[in-house]
Each structure stands twice: as C-alpha cells, then as structure tokens.
Amino acid sequence: MTDQFNSPINRHIYNYFLIFFSVIPISIVAGPSVSLINILIIDISFVILIIIKKDFYFLSNKNFRYLVILYLYLILNTFISLDYSMSLSRNLGFVRMIILFLAINYFFNIKYFFKKVFLFWSFFLCVLVFDIFYEFYIGQNIFGFKGDYGNRIVSFFKDEPIAGSFVSAFFLLIGGFYLNEYKKHKFWIIFFIIIVLISILFTGERSSFLKSLAGFIIFLLFFKEYTSKSKILFALAIIISLLSIITHSDFLKHRFIKQFKVIIISVEDNHYIRLQKSGLEVFYENKLFGVGNKNYRVDTCKNPSLEKQKFYVKYCSTHPHQVYLEFLSEHGLIGFILLMFIFYKIIFSKIKATLNSKNYIGLGALCYLVFTFTPIIPSGAFFNDFSLTLFFINLSIFCASNSNLNHSSRPV
C-alpha cells in the first residue's frame, strides 16, 4: 500500500472519505435511502477527486471494462423490458456500484486507510451480533424491536428479518482482515468468527446460515496456519456443536428441522418450490431476453382469465427467490450467459489463485461471492439495493486486496 495523503489538505480528503466508507454498514442498516445517499456521496466525491488528480489508470483494468459491459447490457435490458419504467431506475442506477468498486480499489492502496475502516466495521458488527443474541434470549432487541415472522430476529432492521443476511456479508471479510493483520492471535479470531456464525444461526435465516456455514468451512480448510487434520476435526466439532444448539432450541428446531421436513414431504405446496416453478415458466415464455430487470412481478402478478386460472403456473411475487431463476426469467438466455461470463471472469476464474494465497481478506470475500451463486437454495433479489450493495462490497474488496486484480495497484 502507498500513502498518498501527506499534505494537510490531502489529510482532510483522507478523513472525509474515511468517514463515509466507515459508515457504510450503518447506512445499510438505516435503510435503502440512507445507504443510497452515502454511496452517492462517495461516488460523486471520488469522481471529482480523480478528475482533479487526473488519475485515470483504472481505464485499462479488465474488471472495470467487464463492469462497463454489464452496465451497457443493463441499459439495453431496460428497453426490452415488459415495463421499462420498472427497470429504468434499477438499471441506470447500477453505475453507482461501478464507481463504488473503483473507489474501494483506489483507497485500499492508501496506507492504513482500510485498516481503520475495517476496525470501525468490526466494532459495528460486534454491536449487531450482541443485539442478535440479546433479541434471541429476551424476545426483542435493545431498542425494543421485534419481528412478526415467527420469532425470526430483526435486530436494528426493525421490521425485516435480514440481520443474518447482513452479518453473513461481513463476518468472513472482517475475520480475514484480522487474520492478515494479527495472525498470532488466530485462535481468538477463529473463535470470534464462530460466535458470529452462531449469531447468523440465531436469526433463523436458513439460506444465510447454510451459505455462511459452507463459506466458513471452506475458509477454514484453506486457512494455512493449521494442519489438515486439525482443520477437519475443528470443522466436525463446529458442525456437531451447531447441531446441538439447534436441537436445544424450540425456535431453531422448528426452523431447521420441522420446516425442512415439511418442505420435503409437501414439495408441491412449498412456497419456494412454487416460486421456482413460476420462475421457470416465465423463462420458458421469454427464453432469449427475459421479461426485463425487476419485471418478474409485472409478468406474474397480472390476473389471468378465469378459464386459465386453473392451469396458471405463475406465482405472484417480486422475484423467484433463486438467483439463477432470477437471471433466466428477467434476462433470458442471452442475459444469463453474459452475466455469468462476466462473473466468471471477475470471480470464478480467480478461485484457484485465491485459495492458494495467504490473502485471507480475499478468501473471506471469495467465500461470500461464490456462495451467492449457490443453486437451489433460495436467495434475495440479486439486483435490489440491499443484496447488490453487500455483493459489491465483497466484490470490490476481493479485487482490491489482490495486487493482480486491483486497478490502482501501482506506484502513485
């Protein structure tokens, strides 16, 4: 890393950006509008900064070019959507994520900048994890918030059971940072990661927990400071401990055992199975280009004629709750292939190199990114503000932490 901010004026710029990067997690919890405003401030300020400094090195970076191609495709997707007004803001607004990607890569090179950011993020994560434990045992969070989703944890999100999804996006990223910086304390860092993993279990979010557990096991298996035998025994001990926690909690037993049995027994009537069948039906009717980003709801929520209702497969919802079916139904085969090609080039083609490295920040981000694309398991809408922001934070830091991927990794 390099230190670009030695003068008093530059230190003010440093501190200015440090504030807005540090509060990213808080802004996400505060709501989509607050998160959007915070990211726009970072983006606009960054654009002004690079124009003043005439620092356009990122233009030669392949990952930036892939993201620009993705953006151009999304603009095209707007015009072929069933209802372009539904897609317009989501597709045009994607540019904010590209600029955020550039800004994170740029500032990651500045000495101690992201170290301070990670310290602040880890403090907030600890507060949120404490609040999840508090709500799990008390029945409401420290501010009195409690959800109406069968005792699922809402924490600071007030009325949405998405605390587990949020924590899952940060815990391996932050754990990887501490393992990079303070390797001699690896036992306590791994212990901290396990505590955070338990908090995700306590939220009752099955998909987030299963993906986080799988991500943690991969992270642990490729952590090079323990022997293979130790890592396998450690992973087995963790899985057994988590199963024990589940069986000793009526709420968790209901979420992870009883409801899972119901899903297996009554497949045809399961909510998520119906959504996935509906997603396939939308795709079958719009194979090449799909119905357009954010238009799944437009197609599935229209009322069929009375004579067709008996055979109506489509299930009214905002999205099909599975990332591949979302891509297929809203983007068709052409969009699906393009999206997966771009993500392959930026993420999946770098798996081997990342797993073989000792870059644990990159490894933590990789685990989150890869398990975002887990087949079958339900997921949130990929392009909505919440999911997309968490994904791009991990994607940006995944590239920024690797000198071969970071567009700004050169002397300045």
Predicted pLDDT at 74: 97
Per-residue model confidence as pLDDT tens digits over 344-394: 999 999 999 999 888 999 999 999 999 999 998 889 899 999 999 999 999
Cα separation, 271 vs 356, whole angstroms: 40
Global confidence as pTM? 0.92
Q: Is the pLDDT of residue 7 over 80?
A: no
Q: Is the pLDDT of residue 85 over 70?
A: yes
Predicted pLDDT at 410: 44
Contact 125, 171 (CB under 8 A): yes
Sequence-distant (≥ 6) Cβ neighbours of residue 337 within 8 angstroms: none
**What secondary structure letter does DSSP report for 157?**
G
Predicted pLDDT at 412: 37
Express as a percent the part of the chain with pLDDT over 70.
90
| Residue 322 placed within a domain | no
| Residue 63 placed within a domain | no
| Residue 12 placed within a domain | yes
Per-residue model confidence as pLDDT tens digits over 277-322: 889 999 999 999 999 999 999 988 876 544 454 445 788 888 898 9
Predicted pLDDT at 317: 87
Q: How many domains does the chain have?
A: 1
Per-residue model confidence as pLDDT tens digits over 16-45: 999 999 999 999 999 999 999 999 999 999
| Residue 197 placed within a domain | yes
Confidence band (pLDDT; 50, 70, 90) for 409?
very low
Predicted pLDDT at 261: 63
What value does the mean pLDDT take over residues 229-238?
86
Domain that holds residue 381: 8-55+94-265+358-400
Mean pLDDT taken over the chain: 88
Contact 196, 176 (CB under 8 A): no
Amino acid (1-letter code) at residue 136: F
**What secondary structure letter does DSSP report for 150?**
T
Per-residue model confidence as pLDDT tens digits over 35-76: 999 999 999 999 999 999 888 887 888 899 999 999 999 999
Cα separation, 50 vs 54, whole angstroms: 5
Q: Of the spans 14-28, 179-193, 253-267, which averages the highest pLDDT?
A: 14-28
Per-residue model confidence as pLDDT tens digits over 128-143: 999 999 999 998 999 9
| Residue 115 placed within a domain | yes
Q: Is the pLDDT of residue 234 over 90?
A: no
| Residue 335 placed within a domain | no
Cα separation, 369 vs 186, whole angstroms: 23
Strands (E), 100-200: none
| Residue 349 placed within a domain | no
| Residue 315 placed within a domain | no
